[in-house]
Amino acid sequence: MLSEVEKREVEEEIAHSHGRRAACIGALKIVQAHRGYVSDEAIQDLAPFLEMTPDELEGVATFYSLIFRHAVGRHVLKVCDSVVCWSLGSESLLQHLEQRLEVKAGGTTPDGRFTLLRICCLGDCDYAPVMMVDDRQVRNVTPAMLDQILQNPEAVEE
């Protein structure tokens, strides 16, 4: 069931959109902000609120790589692997993180602190390689920066 706070925030999103269905991405982000991810139950509760079927909303949720359909760690590390980032070393950065975290891309550390994801494009090619730490973009990433990020992910500035 959607909480009263989630309902209020989704209604505010709808007020700034062209109808209930048009607010679906924003509504998914709201639920994710409150719960950490968008569960099957949340899809079932949110869909009628947006005048959509659960299958329609599921299609939107699974299309966007920044909507999490399963529980993630407290910090989500998203490494861009677009052709530009890849050609400038994002694959070695991903391998560095996999070694340090002892988890493969797509996984979460046993302590639940980090989830490591490969993202197809973060849209910041001028500053490649790039990644995101939670919702903050990090540009011109180096292995030394990764070690600092792992020590204190909250300190990352965009």
Alpha carbon 24 to its chain's center:
16
Note whether residue 131 is domain-resident: yes
pLDDT digit string, tens, across residues 50-96: 999 999 999 999 998 889 999 999 999 999 999 999 999 999 999 99
| CATH number (domain holding residue 11) | 1.10.10
13 lies in which domain range? 4-63
State the Cα–Cα distance between residues 66 and 90, nearest whole angstrom: 19
Average pLDDT over residues 29-43: 96
Same domain, 83 and 51: no
pLDDT digit string, tens, across residues 83-139: 999 999 999 999 999 999 999 999 999 999 999 999 999 999 999 999 999 989 999
Q: How many domains does the chain have?
A: 2
Say which residues have a Cβ less than 8 Å from residue 23's Cβ, sequence separation at least 6: 10, 13, 14, 16, 17, 50
Inform me whether the pLDDT recorded for 140 exceeds 80.
yes
Predicted confidence at residue 156, as pLDDT, reads: 86
Does 129 sit behind a cis peptide bond, omega within 30 degrees of 0 on the bond before it? yes
DSSP3 helix / strand / coil % (the chain, rounded to 5): 50, 10, 40
Same domain, 80 and 132: yes
Partners of 77 in beta bridges = 116, 133
